[in-house]
C-alpha cells in the first residue's frame, strides 16, 4: 500500500518548506523593497489551502491587491489632513475584514487586504513615494507567491483521489463581531506607531497583523501560551538561524537553512511529530522567524548594528504580544455574557 497516498501530511510539510524557502530566496535575491513579504505570503497560502492557485486566480488576486493598495493610498491624504476621521476609517476597515474572514471569507484575501490597508496607509501618510514603493513590493510579492506555490505543488503534488478539505464553518454573527473587534484592537497600536515612523515599525505592523489573525482562534485561557510562547520560540529560532548564517553569509545557505527550519516547524504544524501546541502556534512561530530574519538581513546590508536592532525589535514584539493577550482577556470578559446569551448558529 502506498502510505504517502494514504497520508498527505509528509508531502504538505515538504511543500511548505520548499515553497517558503524559494519565496525567501527570490525575495532577497531579486532585492525587493520588503523581501520578507514573499515567504510570509507563501506560508499563509500553503497552510490555508492544499490546492495550487491557477493562473487566473493568481492574476485576480494581484488585481484585488492592487485595488486594495490603491484604496490605502487614497486614505493617506485623509490621515494627513483629518487624522481622527482617517484612523476611524482604517479601524472600521480592519474590523470588517476580520469579520469577513471569520464568517467564511477567503483567508488569504483577508490577509492581503489587512496588510495592504495597514502598510500602505502608514507608508503613504509619511510619503507618497514610500507608499508607492510598498505597493510595488506587495504586488511583486503576490506574483512571486503565485509562482512559488505553483512550483512547490509541482514538486510535491497532493495525492490523487484525495477529497478536498472541508471549509471552516462560518462563525455566528454576534461572536464574530466580538472576535473581529479584539483582532482590530490588536493591530491598531502597531499601525499607529507606523504612522510616526513607517520604516522602523513596518515589521511590528506585520507581527501585529499575524497576532490579530491568531487571536481569532485563541481564547483568554490559552492566549498567553499561544501568543507569547510562539513569539518567544520564533525569536529563539531566529537567533539560532542567524548564528548559522553568519558562518557563511550566502544566498544558497540562506535558502537551505530556511528549508530546514521551516521543515522542522512544518512537521509539528502538520502533527508528524508529537506536540501539545496547535497549528496556529507553529504558524505564528514561523511568521516571527521570517520577519525577524528578513529585517536582520536588511539591517546588515544597510550597515546597522544587527544585534541592537534585533534586541529592540524583539522587545517590541514581546510588548505587542502582551498587549494582544490583554486585549483577548478584556474583550472576552466584556463579551462573555452576550456570547452566552446568543449561542452560535
Residues 306-326: what's their mean pLDDT?
87
Q: What is the pLDDT of residue 256?
A: 95
Residues 66-76: what's their mean pLDDT?
78
Least confident residue range of 158-162, 288-292, 340-344: 340-344
Question: b vs e for 134-152, b when ≥16 Cβ sit within 10 Å of the residue's Cβ?
Answer: bbebbbbbbbbbbbbbebb
Is-contact 159 82, C-beta < 8 A? no
Rounded to the nearest 5 degrees, what angle is found at the Cα of 55, between the Cα atoms of 13 and 71?
Answer: 95
Quote the CA–CA distance of 56 and 319 in Å, as a whole number.
41
32 band by pLDDT with thresholds 50, 70 and 90 = confident
Is-contact 15 155, C-beta < 8 A? yes
92, 98, 103, 104 alpha-carbon torsion, rounded to 10° = 140
Greater confidence (81 vs 215) lies with 81
Work out the burial of residue 167: count CB atoms within 10 Å of its CB; fewer than 13 is exposed, 13-18 middle, 19 or more buried. Answer: exposed
Instruction: Kindly give, in sequence order, each residue whose CB lies less than 8 Å from that of residue 135, ignoring residues fewer than 6 positions away.
Output: 66, 69, 70, 72, 73, 120
Q: What is the pLDDT of residue 11?
A: 92
Least confident residue range of 5-14, 147-156, 243-252, 313-322: 5-14
Residue with cell 488569504: 108
Least confident residue range of 14-18, 167-171, 314-318: 167-171
pLDDT, tens digit, 9 for 90 and up, residues 79-106: 888 888 889 998 998 999 888 888 877 7
Q: How many CB atoms lie within 10 A of CB 243?
A: 9
Quote the CA–CA distance of 114 and 108 in Å, as a whole number.
10
pLDDT, tens digit, 9 for 90 and up, residues 172-203: 667 778 888 888 888 888 888 888 888 778 88
pLDDT, tens digit, 9 for 90 and up, residues 221-230: 566 677 888 8
217 band by pLDDT with thresholds 50, 70 and 90 = low
Percent of the chain with pLDDT over 70: 88
Closest CA relative to residue 45, chosen from 152, 118, 137: 152
216 band by pLDDT with thresholds 50, 70 and 90 = low
Terminal alpha carbon distance of the chain: 42
Q: What is the pLDDT of residue 343?
A: 36
Quote the CA–CA distance of 205 and 269 in Å, as a whole number.
24
User: How does DSSP classify residue 215?
Assistant: G
Highest mean pLDDT among 64-73, 153-162, 248-257: 248-257
Q: What is the pLDDT of residue 280?
A: 84
Judge whether residue 168 has pLDDT over 80. Answer: no
Judge whether residue 36 has pLDDT over 70. Answer: yes
Quote the CA–CA distance of 52 and 147 in Å, as a whole number.
10
Amino acid at each position: 500500500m502506498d502510505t504517502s497516498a494514504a497520508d498527505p501530511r509528509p508531502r504538505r510539510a515538504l511543500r511548505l518548506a520548499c515553497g517558503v524557502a524559494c519565496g525567501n530566496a527570490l525575495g532577497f535575491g531579486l532585492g525587493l523593497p520588503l523581501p520578507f513579504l514573499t515567504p510570509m505570503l507563501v506560508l499563509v497560502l500553503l497552510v490555508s489551502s492544499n490546492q495550487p492557485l491557477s493562473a487566473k486566480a493568481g492574476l485576480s488576486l494581484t488585481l484585488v491587491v492592487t485595488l486594495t493598495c490603491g484604496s490605502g493610498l487614497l486614505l493617506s491624504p485623509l490621515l494627513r489632513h483629518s487624522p481622527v476621521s482617517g484612523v476611524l476609517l482604517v479601524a472600521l476597515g480592519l474590523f470588517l475584514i476580520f469579520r469577513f474572514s471569520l464568517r467564511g471569507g477567503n483567508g488569504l484575501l483577508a490577509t492581503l487586504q489587512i496588510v495592504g490597508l495597514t502598510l500602505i496607509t502608514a507608508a503613504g501618510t509619511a510619503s507618497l513615494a514610500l507608499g508607492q514603493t510598498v505597493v510595488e513590493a506587495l504586488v511583486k510579492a503576490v506574483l512571486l507567491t503565485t509562482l512559488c506555490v505553483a512550483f512547490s505543488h509541482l514538486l510535491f503534488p497532493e495525492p490523487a483521489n484525495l477529497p478536498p478539505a472541508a471549509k471552516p464553518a462560518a462563525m455566528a454573527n454576534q461572536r464574530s463581531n466580538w472576535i473581529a473587534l479584539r483582532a482590530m484592537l490588536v493591530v491598531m497600536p502597531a499601525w499607529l506607531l507606523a504612522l510616526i515612523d513607517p520604516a522602523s515599525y513596518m515589521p511590528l505592523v506585520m507581527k501585529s497583523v499575524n497576532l490579530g489573525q491568531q487571536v481569532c482562534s485563541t481564547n483568554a485561557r490559552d492566549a498567553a501560551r499561544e501568543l507569547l510562547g510562539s513569539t518567544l520560540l520564533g525569536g529563539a529560532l531566529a537567533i539560532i538561524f542567524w548564528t548559522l548564517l553568519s558562518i557563511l553569509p550566502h544566498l544558497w545557505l540562506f535558502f537551505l537553512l530556511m528549508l530546514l527550519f521551516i521543515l522542522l516547524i512544518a512537521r509539528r504544524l502538520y502533527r508528524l511529530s508529537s506536540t501539545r501546541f496547535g497549528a496556529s502556534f507553529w504558524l505564528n512561530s514561523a511568521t516571527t522567524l521570517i520577519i525577524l530574519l528578513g529585517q536582520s538581513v536588511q539591517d546588515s546590508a544597510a550597515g546597522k548594528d544587527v544585534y541592537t536592532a534585533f534586541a529592540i525589535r524583539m522587545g517590541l514584539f514581546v510588548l505587542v504580544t502582551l498587549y494582544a493577550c490583554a486585549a483577548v482577556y478584556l474583550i472576552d470578559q466584556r463579551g462573555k455574557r452576550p456570547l452566552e446569551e446568543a449561542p452560535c448558529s
